[in-house]
Amino acid sequence: MPFLIVYTFVKVSWLRLPLAAYAAFCYFDPAVDNGIGRRVEWVRELGIWRYVNAYFPVRIVLEEKLDPSLSYIFGVSPHGILCFSGQVVMGSKKSGLDKALPGLTLHPAALHYALTLPLFGAYLLSIGSVSSSRRSIRQCLARGKGHSVGIVIGGAKESLHTNRGSRKLILKNRKGFVREAIMAGAPLVPTYLFGENDIFFQVEHPLLRRLQGWLQSKMMFALPVFYGRFGIIPRRTPLTAVFGSPIFVQKNPNPTYDEINRVHEEYIRQLDRLYSRFKPVYDPDGDDLVIA
């Protein structure tokens, strides 16, 4: 969609001024970093979401009910190619997540620059996304009253390890979400999206991987080469979002490294337990979980 804006700007001279003004608004939009975004309920209720959820289909599984008076950090894995499950499960009302987590408002965290892109950024904001910056996450959790953040921990780097059957997570050195949870006193909820890595096939080649790795290190996002059904249509694979039991932490505005490491190790243990418990049901042919 941003490329369409650029093409129109170049080709249609009389639209250049309004497009430039719109791009400037997107870049400076206060909703990008205010910790709550610009959630638009009619977008989350669009009829197309019903067909998207039925296409895969999408299921929600909770190990236990969550207290709606608390704010949580949901650690979401895996990232997948386009973090498709995150959009469908957390962004759509048709997934059933709002009914499964009554009283909670779950905001998917997205890269700051993605939220400033014309059209695409507006879409992300409309489904409830907030910036993944520290400031935005802290503002969201500070609101209390069930406002929670869903963070796809592996990020762009993990997307390069996405392929059918692969269950490799980039998690071993990702500890920022744990620090934020301790600082806010927010329980951590391990969340695994079964089926996310099977939606698309990724083209793999040593030279391509070197280029992708370089781009990811310089630009903070990856450019996986992938395909699905008839090109870019996602494969029809059941998507099951499993939410584990919360890991309660003691609030500490200045957590120590030892404290962060201890909670991080517990989070990995609980995520591995969650995957091992539900793998025979929802992913019997998948590989064992690998934490890298």
Q: Model confidence over 120-162: pLDDT tens digits?
A: 999 999 999 999 999 999 999 999 889 999 999 988 778 777 7
Give residue 128's pLDDT: 92
Give residue 176's pLDDT: 95
Return the closest-CA partner of residue 148 out of 115, 194, 180: 180
User: Which parts of the chain have pLDDT scores under 70?
Assistant: 1-3, 5-7, 9-12, 218-222
Q: Is the dihedral of CA 208, 209, 213, 214 positive or negative?
A: negative
Instruction: Indicate the DSSP class of residue 287.
Output: P
Q: What is the pTM of this model?
A: 0.91
Q: Is the peptide bond before 18 cis (omega within 30 degrees of 0)?
A: no
Give residue 218's pLDDT: 65
H or E stretch at 190: strand 188-194
Pairing of strands 147-152, 73-77: parallel
Helices (H), 58-133: 84-91, 97-100, 112-115, 120-126
Give residue 58's pLDDT: 92
CA of residue 255 relative to chain centroid, distance: 25
Give the phi and the psi of residue 209 in degrees, each rounded to 5: -65, -35
How many CA atoms, within 13 angstroms, populate the side-chain half-sphere of residue 29?
25
Copy the structure tokens of residue 175.
């500890």
How deeply is 167 buried, as exposed, middle or buried, from its count of CB atoms within 10 A (0-12, 13-18, 19+)?
Answer: buried
Interatomic CA distance for residues 284 and 292, integer angstroms? 22
Cβ–Cβ < 8 Å for 254, 227: no
Supply the DSSP string of 130-160, one letter for each residue. EE-SHHHHHHHHHT-TTEEEEEETTHHHHHT
Give residue 276's pLDDT: 94
Give residue 162's pLDDT: 77
Return the closest-CA partner of residue 197 out of 101, 76, 95, 292: 76
